[in-house]
Structure 1
Amino acid sequence: MSRGLSVLAVLLALAGCGETPTGRSQLALVPEGLMAEMGGDAFAEMRQTRPIERDPAANRLVQCVARELVAAAETRYPEVEMPEAWEVVVFDDPSPNAFALPGGRIGVHTGLLRVAETPDQLAAVIGHEVAHVLADHGNERFTQQLGIKAVLLVVGLVGEGELAGEGLRQALGLGARLGIALPFSRAHEEEADRMGLAIMATAGFDPRQSVALWRNMARAGGGQPPEFLSTHPAHGSRIEALERDMSDAMAAYRNASKTGCAG
C-alpha cells in the first residue's frame, strides 16, 4: 500500500514542472511529436468514418473564422510553440459541438452552426478549441490517465488485508476520477474559455458574443449533470467566468481590426 501512495506522491510532486500560457502549473510528460502523431491518426480515422459537411458556405465560414483565430493566437501567445499546420473539418453531425486534438486538428459539427447564430459566436467555440491545443491540455490529460493507472496497478499488486484486491482498486479508481481527473478537466475547460476569449477579441470578434453563445447552448442543451460530476462547467458558471474577464477582452477588441468572416 505504501508503495502505491509513494508513486502517487511522486506524480503530485512533479505537477509543477511546467506552466500553461496562463501560468497554471502543468504536468505534461508525453513527447509532443507522439501526441501530434496520435492526434493526426485519430483525426484521420474520424474523417474516414464520419460524414463530412460539403456545403461551401458552411466550410467557408468555419475556415475563415479558424484562420483569423489562429493568426490572433500567434499574436496573443507568441511564446507558445504552434502546430506546423492547422486542419479544420466540418462534420455533418447534428450535435452542437466542436473538439480539438493535439497537433492542431479541430472538428466542428454542423449542429454548432445552428446554435452559433453569428460568426462571433462561432469564434467563441473555435477559439476555445484553439486554446486547448495551445495549452497542451491533451498531453496533460493523457499524462494524468497514465499516472492514475500506474498507481492503481501498483496498489493492486502490493495491497494487503481487507482492502486488498479488486475492491480497493475500484474504490481508488472512483476517488482518482472524482479527485484528480474531473477537477483537472474542469480546469482545462475554464482555462480554454479564458484563453479563447482573449484570442477571439484579439482577432476582432466581439467577446460579448461568447456569453450569448453559451446562453444559446443552455437553451439548446437542456439539463446537465451536477457540476461536481461534470468535466465541463455548468452554463451559468461558465457565463459568470466569462463576464469576469470581459473588461480585458473588450479592451483588446477595441484595439483590433474587425474580421470579414460573413455568416
Structure 2
Amino acid sequence: MKKIILILAVFMVVMACKTNPFTGKSTLNFYPNSQIFPMAFAQYNQFLGENKVVKGTSDAQMITKVGQRISSASERWLASNGYPAYLKDYKWEYNLVNDETVNAWCMPGGKIVFYTGILPITQTETGVAVVMGHEVAHALADHGAQRMSAGMLQQLGAVAGNVAIKDPQKRNTFNQAYGLGSTVGVMLPFSRSHETEADRIGLQIMAIAGYNPDEAAELWKRMKAKSGGQAPPEFMSTHPSNDTRIANLTQWAPLAKQEAAKFGVTTFK
C-alpha cells in the first residue's frame, strides 16, 4: 500500500507540471481550469449572495476600472510573450464588499473581492492598483490550484506514514511531527513564495497598465503602520513580513518600469 501511494504521488507530480509564463518555472497543479474554475465561480457567486456588495458608488466603479486595466495589461503581456490563449477560460469580475476587514482576495479564474476596509490603506486609484495587481497575479499564476495540489500531497504523505507505521504510539508521534513539520517546513514557505511571486508579477502588470510601481512600497509602509508592527515571525506566517515586502517592492519597481517601457508606457499615474 505504501509503495502504491508513493508511485501515485510521483505520477501525479510528473503529470501535473505546468509552466508559469511569468517566471518560466514549472508549477505543481493537479487541477485543470475546466475542473477548478466552475467550482470557484459557484463559490464566488454564493459569497456575493451572502454579503453586502457595494454597487454604483465611485469606489465600486474605481475597483472595476482598475481591475479592467490590470487584467487588460496582463492580456497584452501574455499575447506579446507567446501566450495569446492563456486567459480564454477566465471570467474577470471585480466587486467591492462592505466589510471593515483590511483585505482583498482572488479566486481561480479571475474572481476578485475588495473589502471597503482596505480603501483607507490604498487611499488612491494607484494604491488600489497595487492590491489589484497582486490579486490578478494570483489568478494568472494558478496559485489557488497550486495550494490545493500541495494540500493533496501533504495528505498523501500523512496517509503513507499512517499506513507504514504499525505501532499506535509511534504513529501518534509521527502525526504530530509530520503535521508541524510539513506545515512550517513546506506549506507556509510555499504560501510565502506565492505571495512574493504575486507581488512581483503584480508590480509588473500594474506598471504596464500605467500605474506607478513606486507606490507599492509606500502602500506596504501604510499597511505596516496600520498593523502597529504586530505580526507573527515570518517563518510562522503565510505571508512575507511587511519589511520584506517593502524591500522587495522597492528593488523591483525600476524593473517593472523597464518592462512597461517595452509596451510604450513611460509615464505613470
Fold-level similarity (TM above 0.5): yes
Q: CA RMSD in A?
A: 2.5
Higher relative contact order (CA 8 A, sep 6+): 1
Change (3 A) 1:45 1:215: same
Aligned residue for 1:96, secondary structure, equals: coil
| Matched-pair contact (CA < 8 Å) for 1:101–1:133 | yes
Change (3 A) 1:11 1:232: farther
| Matched-pair contact (CA < 8 Å) for 1:15–1:25 | no
Change (3 A) 1:230 1:15: farther
Change (3 A) 1:95 1:232: same
Does residue 1:20 correspond to 2:20, yes or no?
yes
Percent identity between the aligned chains? 32
- Counterpart CA distance in 2 for 1:72 and 1:256 is 11
- Counterpart CA distance in 1 for 2:60 and 2:8 is 46
Unaligned runs of 5+ in 1: none
User: C-alpha deviations, 1:165-193, integer Å up to 9, x for none?
Assistant: 33322221111111221111111000000
* Residue of structure 2 in register with 1:59 after alignment: 60
User: C-alpha deviations, 1:107-155, integer Å up to 9, x for none?
Assistant: 0010111110111111010010000000001110000111111221222
| Matched-pair contact (CA < 8 Å) for 1:36–1:102 | yes
Query: TM-score of the superposition, structure 1-length normalised?
Result: 0.90
Could you tell me how far 1:9 is from its partner in structure 2? 7.2
Change (3 A) 1:195 1:15: farther
Aligned residue for 2:53, secondary structure, equals: coil
Unaligned runs of 5+ in 2: none
Alignment of 1:145-156 (within 5 A): 145-156=151-162
Change (3 A) 1:174 1:14: farther
> Alignment partner for residue 81 of structure 1, among 81, 86, 97?
86
| Matched-pair contact (CA < 8 Å) for 2:73–2:205 | yes
Moved over 4 A (4+): 1-5, 257-260
> Alignment partner for residue 237 of structure 2, among 203, 210, 230?
230
> Alignment partner for residue 115 of structure 1, among 121, 129, 148?
121
Change (3 A) 1:9 1:101: closer
> Alignment partner for residue 246 of structure 1, among 246, 253, 260?
253
Could you tell me how far 1:77 is from its partner in structure 2? 2.3
